[in-house]
Amino acid sequence: MTQKGKTIQLIKDILRHVVIVLMVSVWLIPIIWLIATSFSAYPGRNTSNFFPEQWSLQNYINILNPTSHTVNFPIWMWNTFKIAMAVCIVCTLFAVMVAYATSFFRFKTRKPLMNVAVILNLFPGVLSMISVYFLLKAMNLTNTHIGLTLVYCASSGLGYLIAKGYFDTVPRALVEAAKLDGASQARTFFSIILPISKPIIVYTVISSFLTPWTDFVFSKMILNSGIADMWTVSIGLYNMLDRSLINTYFSQFCAGGVIVSIPISVLFVIMQKFYVEGITGGAVKG
Amino acid sequence: MKKKLISIFLAAAMTLSLTACTQESSGGDNSTTTTAGSGDDAADTTTSAAEGNGASGETITLRVWGGEEDQALLAELVNDFKAAHSDQNFDIQIGVESESTAKDTVLTDISAAADVFAFASDQIASLVRAGALANLDSMSEVLTNYSGKSIDDVKSANSAGTIGSATFKDNLYAFPMSGGNNYFLYYDANVLSEDDVKSWDTMLAKASESGKQVGMTLASGWYLSSFFMGAGFTSSTNDDGTTNCDWNGTSADGYTGVQVVEGILGITNSSAFLPVADGDLSNQIASGNLCAVVDGTWDADAAQAAFGEGYRATKLPTFTCNGTQLQQYTYTGSKLIGVNALSENVGWATVLAEFLTNEQSQAKRFEQRQLSPSNLVVSERDDVKANIAGAASMEQDNFGSIQDVGEKFWDPTKTLGELCAQKSLTVGDTAGIQQALDTAVEGITAALQ
């Protein structure tokens, strides 16, 4: 290659990287701002500067040691964690079991059921919000964490599609061998299929943990008694932006936002390897 | 055959549960659409219920909603209440709901809302129309039984303005908790003298000399209307919730809307004027560029911190309209505590609501929160009068009118305010200003969907 060719290549590389840096900065600016503001020594909303004038760890200390009755971040975290764990377990079990059934069993309504599930999945969950609310109210389940957990778990079986795709790639011979050795369906499922399905289980765990962890709409609607100790993290954080609180709590709100994202990030980093395998594995057959 | 039977059974079960639900929710609907008139019956039945409860040793469960910053105070007052009625068992929970958003949350599901809740006085019309508030005039007997006061005692104990803001169609629907939910002028005495702040013209001239600015929110109907009310414009609401407004015409005092807008533009054209976005006032005060700001008691701490020794407050200044100086008016707002009409214990809820707003409670509220009281006895206290922001708020109340506008009022006025703040209109362009006013009035007076 000539000298000229090299220079052209270099210019191309530089241009390409400049574009990438620009795009990345557009994506990252809000996150950088959030993190920077969470370390601000000024408690209120600062719209005059991008970076805080004085840095401090006080926001993190304050939000983890609440003094006010209305801003009780640790309790919100605990509530959310409890709900998310319960939902995570129930949803994963359901989704994987439905996937197992649709993948390995052959029964008459298998196809129609799968079609119905896919169609139901196309409707956004919020459509059912009003009816869900009144049903829960009739059963006295509003303002309880159980009610909220039920709502999140309700459509969990519908999330079977990707897991089913993964199970379809499992050799049939494996299941048949288990059958010949006298294993029941339950035993086949728990002892043969589950151990080799780690990637897809991890994927289901992450996605079912994320829903309650990040949901605002349903929790705000169901936990409407105004009792702050009942709230989940998203309602609590939202409430910190109230007109009367924002001047004292805005920086703490940012700190809260950063803290909330930590468990998800950790979960994701640990399970990343499986996650990619899970999605691509499940995508081989749709 | 078996399958068919099962499916029929399932379908039947589903229809049954659905009808059960509809019955319940239609019951809820009926009561939510209860109008002010039929509210009396509901109150009557619960009156006897409350008396019955008093006799038995049952635990009365009540839920109270108050603003975030009121929580500690509410907990204290609720304990006082329990002590005052020690012969009765109570289970009183305190929840958080900001006074400014109470209406939206309550109306989402009235039966799920708290028995006693605090709200800002401008929400009273919507709350009464939706049947969310118990008519307190009909609760007088219960109140007398349990606290020895009649509703008339409450009315005479609080300032006429705050009682007026708690009254809808001649019936009292809430107890005034604090007055002074209006706005006025904070200024820095190091920059501006007492005479400077009497009119916008002198204030802006002085601020410009010292390189400082004067801040005010214009892009909000709540603030913008101060100019129009100053020129004698009024507004009112109809039974269907629509608003009457004649800002595009001529006011009772003989000023036209165009002249008012030109007066506002005279202010915004000054380089010393800083239009502030709604809700951004405290941040702008903290920036240190302002020497005066139009704001309310809620930002008193921010103003005090920024102005330091020079921290002063007074009524709003006058502005020039068609060559004369006109005083800016504000809405006389108050914060109220209302009783949920669908509460299972309306009687006790009323007694509690009254307790939370009585003289002792208002005194405590002033001591802890610096909110100007609506109670006449507490207002006369020396420390109340010495409170800079509170005194200015009361001074401004002399130039106030009751906020009687519907939901459609806010968006068009916000746009109009934004046009003034952005200087999109120019002095002398009568046709342009008139057109902007016509558009605004058309939006304000539009029918509700």
pLDDT tens digits, one per residue of B177-192: 988 788 999 999 999 9
Distance CA A131, CA A119 (A): 19
With b for 16 or more beta-carbon neighbours within 10 A and e for fewer, the B266-289 pattern comes to bbbebebbbbbeeeebbbbbbbee
Shared-domain flag, residues A34 and A72: no
Give the pLDDT of residue A149: 93
The average pLDDT across A263-270 equals: 85
Q: Which residues contact B199 (CB under 8 A, 6 or more apart)?
A: B317, B318, B319, B320, B325
Shared-domain flag, residues A36 and A89: no
Shared-domain flag, residues B108 and B196: no
User: Quick check: is B240 in a domain?
Assistant: yes
Give the pLDDT of residue A277: 67
Shared-domain flag, residues B82 and B225: no
Shared-domain flag, residues B276 and B317: yes
Give the pLDDT of residue B427: 87
User: Which amino acid appears at position A84 of this protein?
Assistant: A
Asked if the model's pLDDT at residue A216 lies above 60, the reply is yes
The average pLDDT across B96-125 equals: 90
Say if CB B133 and CB B174 are below 8 A apart: yes
The average pLDDT across A196-210 equals: 85
The average pLDDT across B139-167 equals: 88
Give the pLDDT of residue B282: 83
Query: Across the interface, do A135 and B21 touch by the CB < 8 Å criterion?
Result: yes
From start to end of B288-418, where are the E strands?
Answer: 290-296, 311-314, 318-321, 324-327, 330-331, 335-339, 400-401
State ipTM.
0.71
Shared-domain flag, residues B327 and B338: no
Residues on chain A touching B217 (C-beta within 8 angstroms): none
A244 touches chain B (CB under 8 A): yes
Cβ-nearest to A243 among B20, B93, B100: B100
From start to end of B97-173, where are the E strands?
Answer: 116-120, 167-168, 171-172
User: Quick check: is B16 in a domain?
Assistant: no
Distance CA A154, CA A146 (A): 12
Shared-domain flag, residues B214 and B309: yes
> Which helix (H) or strand (E) segment is B235 a member of?
strand B235-237
Give the pLDDT of residue B228: 94
Give the pLDDT of residue B161: 81
Say if CB A266 and CB B92 are below 8 A apart: no
Distance CA B100, CA B152 (A): 27
Shared-domain flag, residues B368 and B224: no
Cβ-nearest to A47 among B98, B109, B283: B283
Question: B60 is in which domain, residue-wise?
Answer: 39-180+333-395
Shared-domain flag, residues A100 and A181: yes
Say if CB A83 and CB A152 are below 8 A apart: yes
Shared-domain flag, residues B282 and B187: yes
Query: Across the interface, do A228 and B93 touch by the CB < 8 Å criterion?
Result: no
Shared-domain flag, residues A27 and A168: no
Give the pLDDT of residue B43: 42
Give the minimum alpha-carbon distance from A125 to chain B in angstroms, rounded to a whole number.
19
The average pLDDT across B57-86 equals: 90
Partners of residue B168 on adjacent β-strands? B171
Query: Across the interface, do B283 and A227 touch by the CB < 8 Å criterion?
Result: no
Give the pLDDT of residue B3: 60
- Specify the range with the lowest mean pLDDT, choosing from A180-194, A262-276, B280-294: A262-276
Instruction: Looking at chain A, list the stretches that DSSP marks H as alpha helix, in order from N- to C-terminal side.
Output: 3-38, 58-64, 73-104, 110-122, 129-138, 145-154, 161-168, 172-180, 185-187, 198-214, 217-222, 233-240, 246-283
Higher pLDDT, B301 or B275: B275
Measured torsion, CA atoms of residues A16, A20, A23, A24, in degrees rounded to the nearest 10: -170
Locus of tokens 């012969």: B87
Q: For chain A, what is the domain count?
A: 2
Give the pLDDT of residue A226: 84
Shared-domain flag, residues B209 and B162: no
Residue B371 CA, chain-centre distance (Å), reads 14
Mean pLDDT of chain A: 86
Query: Across the interface, do B283 and A244 touch by the CB < 8 Å criterion?
Result: no
The average pLDDT across B137-166 equals: 88
Q: For chain B, what is the domain count?
A: 2
Shared-domain flag, residues A107 and A179: yes
Give the pLDDT of residue B38: 37
Total residue count of chain A as it appears in this document: 286
Mind listing the pLDDT tens digit for each residue in B190-239?
A: 999 999 999 999 999 999 999 999 999 999 999 999 999 999 998 888 87
Say if CB B165 and CB B124 are below 8 A apart: yes
Question: A51 is in which domain, residue-wise?
Answer: 3-61
Shared-domain flag, residues A137 and A268: yes
DSSP for residue B149? -
Shared-domain flag, residues B176 and B202: no
Given the DSSP bridges, would you call strands B167-168 and B171-172 parallel, antiparallel or unpaired?
antiparallel
Say if CB B385 and CB B416 are below 8 A apart: no
Shared-domain flag, residues A16 and A100: no
Shared-domain flag, residues A57 and A73: no
User: Quick check: is B11 in a domain?
Assistant: no
Mind listing the pLDDT tens digit for each residue in A82-126?
A: 999 999 999 999 999 999 999 988 899 999 988 988 888 888 877
User: Quick check: is B279 in a domain?
Assistant: yes
Say if CB B121 and CB B336 are below 8 A apart: yes
Shared-domain flag, residues A83 and A49: no
Distance CA B301, CA B285 (A): 10
User: Which amino acid appears at position A106 of this protein?
Assistant: R
Mind listing the pLDDT tens digit for each residue in B84-104?
A: 998 889 999 999 888 888 998
A225 touches chain B (CB under 8 A): yes
User: Which amino acid appears at position B164 of this protein?
Assistant: G
Q: Cα–Cα distances in Å, from A12 out to A5, A23, A162, B25?
A: 11, 17, 40, 67
pLDDT band at B7 (very low <50, low <70, confident <90, very high): low
Q: B232 in the Ramachandran plot: left (φ > 0), alpha (ψ -120 to 50) or beta?
A: left
Give the pLDDT of residue A280: 62
> Which helix (H) or strand (E) segment is B105 a member of?
helix B102-108
Shared-domain flag, residues A129 and A9: no
Shared-domain flag, residues B304 and B437: yes
User: Quick check: is B105 in a domain?
Assistant: yes
CATH of the domain at B427: 3.40.190.10
Closest CA to A104 of A197, A169, A199, A180: A169
A220 touches chain B (CB under 8 A): no
User: Quick check: is B201 in a domain?
Assistant: yes
Shared-domain flag, residues A79 and A114: yes
Give the pLDDT of residue A281: 59
Give the pLDDT of residue B75: 92
Give the minimum alpha-carbon distance from A207 to chain B in angstroms, rounded to a whole number.
31
Distance CA B330, CA B326 (A): 13
Q: A210 in the Ramachandran plot: left (φ > 0), alpha (ψ -120 to 50) or beta?
A: alpha
Look at residues A61, A86, A111 and tell me which one is the last residue of a structural domain. A61
pLDDT band at A278 (very low <50, low <70, confident <90, very high): low
pLDDT band at B2 (very low <50, low <70, confident <90, very high): low
Cβ-nearest to B114 among A133, A138, A226: A226
Q: Which residues 48-77 in chain A show a CB within 8 A of chain B?
A: 48, 68-71
User: Quick check: is B26 in a domain?
Assistant: no
Mind listing the pLDDT tens digit for each residue in B10-63?
A: 666 655 555 544 444 333 333 333 333 333 444 444 444 444 444 457 889 999
Distance CA B122, CA B333 (A): 7
Shared-domain flag, residues A30 and A143: no
Shared-domain flag, residues B359 and B321: no
> Which helix (H) or strand (E) segment is B63 a member of?
strand B59-66
Shared-domain flag, residues B64 and B132: yes
- Specify the range with the lowest mean pLDDT, choosing from A7-11, A126-130, B119-123, B266-270: A126-130
